[in-house]
Each structure stands twice: as C-alpha cells, then as structure tokens.
C-alpha cells in the first residue's frame, strides 16, 4: 500500500491556509491625514503627507521604503516622540500626545542602548525603577528575560554578550513595561545573516507569547515578508526630495507558525516578495 507523502501534505495544507480569510482584528493604531513638516529654511521641509494607517491588535507590520522617505519619522510619530504637523494619531482610541509605556521603541544600535556597567537584569529593570516595588520589578525582569531566552544570563554584563544577545536584552527591556506595541527601527540591520535568522524566529516566538502588536522598519524585503502580516511601502510618488506617504500595502497571508526554510518556499511568500519589489522599483503601483 502506498504511503502518503506527509511533507507534501503539510506544504499543501500551508498553501491552502493562505487563502483563508484573515480574522477581524480590533483597530489599535489609527493615523488619519497625518503630515509632518520639520523646520528647515523659510517654509520648512515636508517629510510626510497624507498618511492613512490602521493597525490591528496582534498584527506584525513592516514598514519598507527607500532611504529619505520618512520611515523613521513615521515611527517617531507612532511612538509619540514627534507630534505631527497635521492629522490625528490614536492608540486604542486615545490620542497620542507624547511618549507612553503603551508603545515602546527598540532601536538598531543595541551597543550604545545598553549600559555596560549594569548587569543584564539591571538594564532590563531600568524602565521600572522608581515605578514598582522591588519584588514586582524582579518578577517582571525574570519573566521578560525568560521570554527572550536569557534568564540564565541575568547577572552577565552586556559587553560580554554577542550582538544578537544584546539585541534580545533590548527587547526584554521593552517587554518589561508590558506595552501594547513594540516599535522597532531596523532592529536586525546590524547583525550577521545567521544571527538575524535566529532573531527573526525569536521575535515570532515573543509575539506569539505576548500577543503584542509589532511594527518595524526594514530595508530587507525578505525579512519584511517573512515576519509580517502586512507590509506598508513608504515612497515619494512625486520624486526625490518630496514628502513620503504610504503608496501600497501588501498582505502576506502566510500561515503561522512560520519556518525559516519552509515558509520561504511557499508560493505566497514569492508572490508577496515580487509585488513588493515591483512597488519599490517603480515608486508606486502601476507606474
């Protein structure tokens, strides 16, 4: 009797799941008619214009686009570090008027973000100091380090850890405040390919455990597609030097959990990657 090809069946099932409708998500972040003009010269310099964004609870959303199109500016608006010149930004229905523990940013430069004279545990505890009791602080630090797989390194110093581990310490420091949203500015851009692939899966595990919304900037199209539910493209449709805006969004439709090899073999992965590459090349859809 012929045995079924289990590997083939698993792949076909994964492909079938890509066509399933995505479950409805509660809107968490909402940007309406957002524009940003920074002081520069007599009239200022317009960085972003007419940005319309909705992000659901528990989504992973990548932001891609050429340099100078306003990606980091958008992340600063989302984090409350920068007030838009026009338009509205809301998080869980409340206006974003400044930095909040509900949305925490993880930066690319992990080496300077961590304090070398403090242990891993004390680096992670930093946002809680003066805000929680010692026992509560220790519990939350331990839990955050367990999520990123560094509980056994709590008493180490950052300079004794690899780059990938240091970035995981940064993620733990963000998780310890129990935010609704993780905002990440090219979090893996400075890492080698092998470490980056490992941290991709670590991020997916963290999101699965916490259910948090994740938004991150990247210049890596493969990274954007592999990690995300949706990829937003910022571009300057009127040419270089003009304000950026969201010109296109790709829904990846890839099933979870994801596998670094099997997921990249799926037709849906290649289709999303091709669509993104075309938009990034032309600057807008149908160019």
pLDDT digits (tens, 9 = 90+) for 85-113: 999 999 999 999 999 889 999 887 777 88
β-bridge mates for residue 213, sequence order: 181
Residue 148 is assigned to a structural domain of this protein? no
pTM for this structure? 0.85
Q: Can you give the residue range of the structural domain that contains 85?
A: 25-99+213-287
3-class SS at 251? Answer: strand
pLDDT digits (tens, 9 = 90+) for 168-185: 999 999 999 999 999 999
Mean pLDDT lowest for which of 16-20, 201-205, 266-270?
Answer: 16-20
Average pLDDT of the chain? 87
Task: State mean pLDDT over 188-198.
Answer: 85
pLDDT tier for residue 285 given thresholds of 50, 70 and 90? low
Alpha helices in the chain (DSSP H): 6-18, 71-79, 110-113, 120-125, 134-147, 163-175, 193-210, 221-227, 267-282
Alpha-carbon span 274 to 276, nearest angstrom: 5
pLDDT higher than threshold 70 for residue 120:
yes
pLDDT digits (tens, 9 = 90+) for 133-160: 999 999 999 999 999 999 999 999 999 9
The total domain count for the chain is 1
Residue 129 is assigned to a structural domain of this protein? no
Alpha-carbon span 84 to 33, nearest angstrom: 10
Alpha-carbon span 185 to 76, nearest angstrom: 10
Q: Are 105 and 185 in contact (CB under 8 A)?
A: yes
Residue 269 is assigned to a structural domain of this protein? yes
Residue 147 is assigned to a structural domain of this protein? no
Alpha-carbon span 62 to 64, nearest angstrom: 6
Residue 93 is assigned to a structural domain of this protein? yes
Residue 232 is assigned to a structural domain of this protein? yes
Residue 159 is assigned to a structural domain of this protein? no
pLDDT digits (tens, 9 = 90+) for 273-282: 999 999 988 7
Residue 49 is assigned to a structural domain of this protein? yes
Phi-psi region of 96 (alpha: psi -120 to 50; beta: other; left: phi over 0): beta
CATH number at residue 48: 3.40.50.300
Task: State mean pLDDT over 27-53.
Answer: 90
């Amino acid at each position: 009797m012929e045995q079924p090809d289990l590997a083939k069946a698993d792949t076909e099932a994964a492909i079938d799941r890509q066509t399933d409708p995505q479950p409805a998500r509660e809107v968490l972040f909402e940007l309406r008619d957002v524009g940003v003009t920074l002081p520069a010269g007599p009239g200022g310099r317009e960085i972003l214009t007419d940005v319309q964004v909705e992000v659901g609870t528990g989504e992973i959303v990548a932001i891609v686009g050429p340099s100078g199109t306003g990606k980091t500016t958008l992340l600063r608006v989302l984090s409350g570090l920068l007030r838009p010149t026009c338009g509205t930004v809301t998080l869980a229905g409340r206006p974003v008027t400044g930095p909040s523990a509900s949305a925490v940013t993880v930066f690319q430069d992990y080496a300077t973000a961590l304090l070398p004279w403090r242990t891993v545990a004390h680096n992670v505890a930093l946002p809680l100091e003066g805000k929680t009791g010692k026992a509560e602080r220790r519990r939350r630090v331990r839990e955050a380090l367990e999520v990123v797989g560094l509980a056994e390194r709590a008493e180490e110093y950052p300079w004794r850890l690899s780059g990938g581990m240091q970035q995981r310490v940064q993620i733990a420091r963000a998780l310890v405040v129990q935010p609704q949203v993780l905002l990440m500015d090219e979090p893996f851009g400075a890492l080698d390919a092998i470490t980056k692939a490992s941290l991709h899966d670590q991020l997916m595990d963290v999101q699965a455990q916490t259910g948090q919304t994740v938004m991150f900037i990247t210049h890596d199209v493969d990274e954007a597609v592999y990690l995300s539910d949706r990829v937003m493209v910022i571009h300057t449709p009127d040419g270089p030097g003009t304000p950026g805006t969201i010109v296109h969004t790709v829904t990846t439709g890839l099933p979870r959990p994801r596998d670094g090899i099997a997921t990249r073999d799926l037709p849906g992965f290649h289709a999303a990657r091709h669509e993104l590459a075309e938009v990034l090349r032309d600057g807008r859809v149908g160019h």
